[in-house]
Amino acid sequence: MRLRGVAEWERGRIVIEALLRNGINYFVYAVGAQSSPLVYALLTLREKFETSLKNTNDKHTLALIKNSLMLCSHVDERGASYHAVGYAKATGRGAAVILTSGTAVANVMPAVVEAYKSELPLLVLSADRPPELHNVRSNQTIPQDNFFGKFAVYSSVVPTLATPFDLKTLLKTIKVGCSYLTSPSTTDLPSGENADKPSSKGVVHFNVPFRKPLIGKWSAIFDEVITERTLLKTKTTALNRLTNEVSYDGDERRLSDFDEAWLLRVAKKLLALKKQGEKILLVSGALDGLAYTEQTKVGAFIKTISRYLELPIFMDIASPLSGGLGFDEREHAVDRHSVDRYSHNRIIENFPLILNTYVHKKDENICKQLHFKTIVHIGGEVVNDMFLSWLREFPPDDYIHLERIGAHYDPGCILPPYRKCHVSKVAGYLPSILEYLVLLLQPNYQVKRSVDQTAASTADETIKDSPLKVTDNRLASKKLAALNRNLRLWTRTYKFTAFSELDIVRTIMQSSLLLRSENKFDNNQPTKKQPGRQKVDVVDNKNHSKLAGNHLAKTTKSPQWSLFLGNSMPIRSFALLPMENGFKNIFTARGTSGIDGLLAIATGISQGTLVTMASSHVMVVLGDLSFLHDLNSLLLLTKNNDWVLGLIVINNHEGTIFNHLPIKPYLRSYWDEFIFKHTIDFKYIAKTFEIDYMCLADKEGVAAYLRSAFFRNKSFLLELSVESKDNFNEHNRFVTAARDYIAKEW
């Protein structure tokens, strides 16, 4: 076979179709001339997909075609790449970011670093100038090969096409690179090929040089309409016609570090330790990069193991258990008057605050009573600094980590060496683990190859009657659970003396419980679309409450909302005050914990939850400087009406986190300059981007506004004006009061 005159824009089309074959179906692009062959290919392919939509009435086929190619454009490469990071957080799938040449590639470096630290899949597809224009001071030309260095798990130049061998090389290059976006392991790659790369998802960089002319007419082979038959085979027409000599089906990757027998030995060890009265703690961390269905399985795994072995769980704010996965309606229904979602399991959400109290008060006796011999950490990083401080004081003897296969997790440099396995696979072994535990507790039990509901019930009964040793340690753990329940009630009723960030956190969490209520309003009223809202600066609580009540009377069901927490003070405040809430899922951006790109990440999460949960509603809580840092990403909201973001910006007119650090005495003379004190409000920013806006400065107004906002299908900006001094004082007062209460209750 000969390749005759494949033009540059047609090579761009081949690259796009090869990516589609390898599972990349979401493309985010920033405008640029050098990348126009790639964008041109995308837009013409989308036109053919839309033609296919018009020619079919089958719902399954319509959904298949619609989700087979999704596009998003943005003016800013930095925002575009952070949007792709957010999409990966919500779906676990890599999106392709298409860039022009020059500084455009440098603009995505912060998002690349975030994806690298979070082990998220991200594909950077950069257009480049041809080789002859390098090293001659040509315009908009920089060295782009291997631009991201150690931050990319795979980097390659996509070759030009002159012979069939070049086409095979191009397709193999893309296939190998895409395997790092969909597989947690590289053990099946050809020997010697990227042998030094980590066995995890990560950043992949394809650099594609193009010569002029960049765009022209398509050859006949590229001008065929995509049919249902070719789409169902996940192959598009032009590439099939060019070659049929290369196989494109995805390889099955095995997890080299995962061993089911090892996990069963771990279960046996945990049971033996529990029988001896040793204390074991489950830690539930972040699960970024796992789809919601996978997170659900992991959440069920955590709760089941906790119940069977009577283990307490520390639920970090970044854990999926802090959102909807920690709530079980069937078990919750036992007490319909209770809003305590933790009553059915052993989640100790205030665990760090309790431990920090005794570390702070230097009560070594109680700290030793609460020293856990073994910690089983399920998921990624832990946000709560109090927990990490406690680990430094009382490190465990044994540490088992079930996470994505990647870098060793030990931010305090105090943990013993440990073995870990891939968290997305561990939930699939739950039936085997339960059956094994039953076998250990009741040797005469007949083992089955697959555990059904009967076996699970047998496990419940067996473990309920098992001779787990009652010791002082076990009593201490029960006392910890009782203290946590009392502290939970105390935080709900604690009275703040001024409007502050912690007060806002509690109001948001409590207001979100409305999302768990369905069909509790006037069903005789027809459900209507959300009416237009007034754009006002400060809410009138009486009028606003009336408006909210009128709207809720016409509503029977709320959308499913996720929560995305910004860095700096917002996430710390939520971690300090973990509470019952109605959010379906909670997302964070703790890879590098920066304040840049957070709005763009939120839009990516919205697109991801739209794909995985059929709901794009995301509540976003940010500080004022984080919001100012990423204003141009508000353009993304103006271009896509499918995304619904509730932007809550806490404006204290400075970087208030620095007030909590021991540096102020040395910088007092320069403090206002150091913390970037400002007088900006966001009324006219919202007007510029045509986003509904409200500014509030009281808890009652926030609660009333959210009662109606949760039922909206349009993005809004809620600015909450807070005095920085009040924020600092209320935070310290709450921590002091909590410590006193804990010391009194123990």
Domain's final residue, options 242, 275, 302: 242
Which is more confident, 679 or 269? 679
128 sits in which H/E element: strand 122-128
Asked if 209 and 312 sit in the same domain, the reply is: no
Domain's final residue, options 188, 207, 242: 242
Q: Are 240 and 21 in contact (CB under 8 A)?
A: no
Distance of CA 298 to the CA centre of its chain: 15
Asked if 434 and 553 sit in the same domain, the reply is: no
Range of the domain at 340: 260-483
CA–CA gap between residue 742 and residue 108 (Å, rounded): 46
Report CA-CA distances (Å) from 696 to 548, 571, 651, 681.
16, 21, 10, 12
| pLDDT value for 78 | 95
Whether residue 290 is predicted with pLDDT greater than 60 in this model: the reply is yes
Which is more confident, 355 or 40? 40
SS3 376: strand
Q: Are 591 and 535 in contact (CB under 8 A)?
A: no
| Predicted confidence (pLDDT) per residue in 392-415, tens digit | 778 888 888 777 655 566 766 666
* Mean pLDDT score, 263-285: 80
Asked if 224 and 323 sit in the same domain, the reply is: no
How many helical (H) and strand (E) elements, i.e. helices and strands, does the chain have?
30, 17
| pLDDT value for 149 | 95
Domain's final residue, options 242, 268, 295: 242
Whether residue 261 is predicted with pLDDT greater than 90 in this model: the reply is no
Q: Is residue 530 part of a domain?
A: no
Tell me the pairing of strands 617-623 and 692-696.
unpaired
Long-range pairs of 520-528 with CB within 8 A, sequence gap ≥ 24: 521/552, 521/553, 521/554, 521/555, 521/556, 522/553, 522/554, 523/556, 525/553, 525/554, 526/554, 527/554, 527/555, 527/556, 527/557, 528/554
Which is more confident, 183 or 282? 282
Which is more confident, 379 or 367? 379
CA–CA gap between residue 607 and residue 643 (Å, rounded): 7
CA–CA gap between residue 743 and residue 736 (Å, rounded): 11
Q: Is residue 431 part of a domain?
A: yes
Query: First vs last Cα of the chain: how many Å apart?
Result: 80
CA–CA gap between residue 258 and residue 394 (Å, rounded): 29
- Give the chain's mean pLDDT: 77
Asked if 603 and 668 sit in the same domain, the reply is: yes
Where b means 16+ CB within 10 Å and e means fewer, 454-478 reads ebbebbeebbeebebeeeebbebbe
Q: Is residue 253 part of a domain?
A: no
Asked if 188 and 269 sit in the same domain, the reply is: no
| Predicted confidence (pLDDT) per residue in 500-514, tens digit | 999 999 999 999 988
Tell me the pairing of strands 96-99 and 644-651.
unpaired
Q: Which CATH number covers residue 287? A: 3.40.50.1220
Q: Is residue 492 part of a domain?
A: no
CA–CA gap between residue 171 and residue 208 (Å, rounded): 13
Asked if 552 and 626 sit in the same domain, the reply is: yes
Whether residue 315 is predicted with pLDDT greater than 90 in this model: the reply is no
Lowest-confidence pick of 39-43, 387-391, 427-431, 652-656: 427-431
* Mean pLDDT score, 237-266: 45
Q: Are 436 and 267 in contact (CB under 8 A)?
A: yes
Q: Is residue 700 part of a domain?
A: yes
Tell me the pairing of strands 203-209 and 122-128.
parallel
Asked if 366 and 325 sit in the same domain, the reply is: yes
Q: Are 602 and 546 in contact (CB under 8 A)?
A: no
CA–CA gap between residue 399 and residue 282 (Å, rounded): 10
* Mean pLDDT score, 142-160: 93
Q: Which CATH number covers residue 733? A: 3.40.50.970
CA–CA gap between residue 466 and residue 275 (Å, rounded): 9
CA–CA gap between residue 633 and residue 602 (Å, rounded): 10
- In sequence order, the β-bridge partners of residue 587 are 564
Give the phi and the psi of residue 155 in degrees, each rounded to 5: -145, 135
Whether residue 495 is predicted with pLDDT greater than 50 in this model: the reply is yes
| pLDDT value for 226 | 43
Q: Is residue 53 part of a domain?
A: yes
* Mean pLDDT score, 583-612: 92
Lowest-confidence pick of 73-77, 348-352, 520-524: 520-524
Which is more confident, 206 or 135? 206
Token pair listed for 132: 């002859």
Question: How many domains is the chain built from?
Answer: 3
Q: Are 626 and 654 in contact (CB under 8 A)?
A: no
Token pair listed for 477: 């753990």
* Mean pLDDT score, 621-648: 94
Q: Determine if the peptide bond prior to 396 is cis (ω within 30°).
A: no
Report CA-CA distances (Å) from 288 to 118, 315, 380, 424.
7, 15, 8, 11
Token pair listed for 322: 């802090």
Q: Is residue 395 part of a domain?
A: yes
* Mean pLDDT score, 661-674: 86
623 sits in which H/E element: strand 617-623
Whether residue 483 is predicted with pLDDT greater than 50 in this model: the reply is yes
Q: Is residue 524 part of a domain?
A: no
Asked if 308 and 209 sit in the same domain, the reply is: no
| pLDDT value for 203 | 96
Whether residue 368 is predicted with pLDDT greater than 50 in this model: the reply is yes
| pLDDT value for 571 | 94
Asked if 300 and 228 sit in the same domain, the reply is: no
Token pair listed for 630: 């990423």
Asked if 311 and 234 sit in the same domain, the reply is: no
- In sequence order, the β-bridge partners of residue 99 are 126
| Predicted confidence (pLDDT) per residue in 178-200, tens digit | 988 875 433 333 334 444 444 56
Which is more confident, 349 or 94? 94
Asked if 226 and 332 sit in the same domain, the reply is: no
* Mean pLDDT score, 15-30: 92
| pLDDT value for 535 | 41
The DSSP result for 4-58, as a single string, is ----HHHHHHHHHHHHHHTT--EEEEE--STTHHHHHHHHHHHHHHHHHHHT---
Q: Are 168 and 87 in contact (CB under 8 A)?
A: no
| pLDDT value for 296 | 82
Asked if 465 and 510 sit in the same domain, the reply is: no
| pLDDT value for 683 | 96
Most confident of 153-157, 228-232, 551-555: 153-157
CA–CA gap between residue 404 and residue 209 (Å, rounded): 34
| Predicted confidence (pLDDT) per residue in 701-710, tens digit | 999 999 999 9
